[in-house]
Every structure is written in C-alpha cells, then in structure tokens.
C-alpha cells in the first residue's frame, strides 16, 4: 500500500471515530474540503470547525471505502459509500484526495453519476 493510500485511510478512520485531533494532525495548514455540491471550506482551522459541527449534526455518519487507488502525483481516488440516517448523506460516493508533503491537502467528495 502506498503512503498516500495509507494517509487517506487514516484520515477516513479519523472521520469514522470523530477524532478532531487526528484529523488536524493529518491536514496541511491550507487544507481544503469540497463537498458534493462544490461548496469549499478553506484552511485547517475552518475545516476542523466544520467537522466539529458536522459530527454534532450527523453522529451516525460513516464512509465505507470499496476501492482506494493512488493515481500518482499525490492524488488518490476512492470509490465507496457514505452511511447516515439522513438520506441526503447516505449512498454511493466518490472521493478525490490530494496529498502534499505527507498530509491531506484537499478532501473532495463527489456524487456518483447516475447510470
């Protein structure tokens, strides 16, 4: 397993455990989160605050990864699903992750195209 893939798995594990300290330790200072609608949150502090609020609002949210593939140049693509009691957050998803210097620089969630 590549270091980039291991980093992405560790980040997702921290999401599943709602571990803000672990998330912070894995982010670059310029970390960026982009949700499926394209809305972005910029900067590590703002992202940690957003995760704090997200975990409070959606305590049963989990990501299940089926395939994790390092594509080179610090890019990792993930296919899987999110599980949550809120229907809008439950279902298939794709993640595109950028890794820089051993940290997660961008965590982007995209919807799975309809068949």
Query: What total number of domains does the chain contain?
Result: 1
Question: Looking at residue 54, which CATH number applies to its domain?
Answer: 3.10.450.50
Supply the pTM of this predicted model: 0.93
Residues 6+ away with beta carbon under 8 Å from 7: 26, 76, 99, 102, 103, 104
Residue 51 domain boundaries: 3-111
Q: Using pLDDT thresholds of 50, 70 and 90, give the confidence band for residue 4.
A: very high
Quote the Cα angle for 71-29-88, to 5°: 65
What's the mean per-residue pLDDT of the chain? 94
pLDDT for residue 111: 77
Residue of 9, 16, 111 whose CA lies nearest to 66: 9
Report DSSP state, residue 12.
Answer: H
Express each pLDDT in 26-63 by its tens digit. Answer: 999 999 999 989 999 999 999 999 999 999 999 999 99
Q: Using pLDDT thresholds of 50, 70 and 90, give the confidence band for residue 15.
A: very high
């Amino acid at each position: 397993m590549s270091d980039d893939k291991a980093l992405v798995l560790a980040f997702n594990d921290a999401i599943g455990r709602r571990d803000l300290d672990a998330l912070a330790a894995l982010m670059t200072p310029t970390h960026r989160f982009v949700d499926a609608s394209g809305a972005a949150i910029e900067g590590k502090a703002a992202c940690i605050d957003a995760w704090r609020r997200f975990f409070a609002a959606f305590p049963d949210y989990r990501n299940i990864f089926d395939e994790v593939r390092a594509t080179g140049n610090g890019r990792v693509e993930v296919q899987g699903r999110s599980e949550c009691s809120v229907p809008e957050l439950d279902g298939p998803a794709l993640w595109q992750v950028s890794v820089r210097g051993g940290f997660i620089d961008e965590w982007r969630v995209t919807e799975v195209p309809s068949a």
